[in-house]
Amino acid sequence: AQTVTQSQPEMSVQEAETVTLSCTYDTSESNYYLFWYKQPPSRQMILVIRQEAYKQQNATENRFSVNFQKAAKSFSLKISDSQLGDTAMYFCALITSGTYKYIFGTGTRLKVLA
Amino acid sequence: GAVVSQHPSWVICKSGTSVKIECRSLDFQATTMFWYRQFPKQSLMLMATSNEGSKATYEQGVEKDKFLINHASLTLSTLTVTSAHPEDSSFYICSASRGQGGQGTQYFGPGTRLLVL
């Protein structure tokens, strides 16, 4: 069975600081993809970043970057220079090659403090 | 690119009526669309996977006769909640998959808030 675990239900960070959200996963597949999605109070799910398992290089999108540790099955999200607009629920998701279904974590609620 | 719309954004209906929710991929073709349900402060729960031109695949525990899904074209999928009851009140989100196989990044619609009185 495939699982995604987010062990931090809630986090807070001061504006302009850096925060790291944790995600661990489990799959027996060798080919898979990992995602971080953001869900702000509007509840619109927004893709933050995506990582292909076969790529060793960590994905980066502006202030968002991941630390992908394949052997440890860890996929953490780092947000640099946090902004008030980063306040949201963040979901980690896994999809394996050959299936279209996402496995979502339970989410981490991030609050950026002014 | 990769914009998904959903209509209506919210709906209030009386118990026993049916409600249709539309999901459209606006700037790409989506062979696969998904319907989720989300309860307050919880993660997304997959209800069904919808493939263009074929019957939807429902997750275990989801009543297919209650939640009718039609994927009529590569850009449109609809979810009809039949004979809605108060317990069907929820936030429903659709997504459309762009790409083949396991590379299919899902892009989400803005969601529909359903309240059944």
pLDDT digit string, tens, across residues B71-87: 888 899 999 999 999 99
- Give the list of residues 6+ apart from residue A71 with CB closer than 8 angstroms, or none: none
Of B32, B38, B101, the CB nearest to A97: B101
d(CA A107, CA A21): 10
pLDDT at B98 (0 to 100): 78
Looking only at the bridges linking them, the beta strands covering B44-51 and A108-113 are unpaired
Strand ranges for A1-73 from DSSP E: 3-5, 10-14, 19-21, 24-26, 32-39, 46-52, 60-61, 64-69
Q: Is the pLDDT of residue B100 over 80?
A: no
Is it the case that residue B8 has pLDDT exceeding 80?
yes
Contact check, Cβ <8 Å, B110/A42: yes
Pick from A44, A98, A101: which is nearest to B111 by CB?
A44
Please give the mean pLDDT across all residues of chain A: 95
DSSP 3-state assignment of B88? helix
Q: Could you give phi then psi for residue A84, rounded to 5 degrees? A: -55, -35
Residue A77 tokens read as 């999200």
Residue B99 binned pLDDT confidence (cut-offs 50, 70, 90): low
Tokens of B16: 């026993």
pLDDT at A98: 72
How confident is residue A102, by pLDDT bands cut at 50, 70 and 90? very high
- For chain B, list residues whose CB is within 8 angstroms of any CB belonging to chain A: 32, 34, 38, 41-44, 46, 49, 91, 93, 95, 97, 101-108, 110-111
- Asked whether A23 and A7 are in contact (CB, 8 A), the reply is no
Q: Do A45 and B32 touch (CB under 8 A)?
A: no
**Residues on chain A touching B107 (C-beta within 8 angstroms):** 47
> CA distances (Å), B90 to each of A40, B38, B39, in order?
17, 7, 6
CB spacing of B49 vs A96 below 8 angstroms: no
Q: State residue B103's pLDDT score.
A: 58
Both ends of chain B: CA-CA distance in Å?
Answer: 37
In the 8-state DSSP scheme, what is residue B59? P
Digit-coded pLDDT (tens) for B14-24: 999 999 999 99
Q: Quick one: tokens of A49? A: 């970043």
A104 vs A1, residue with greater confidence: A104
Question: In a 3-state reduction of DSSP, which class is residue A33?
Answer: strand
Share of chain A above pLDDT 90, in %: 89
Residue pLDDT, tens place only, B33-91: 999 999 988 999 999 998 888 889 999 999 999 999 998 888 999 999 999 999 999 99
Over range A19-47, report the average pLDDT.
Answer: 95
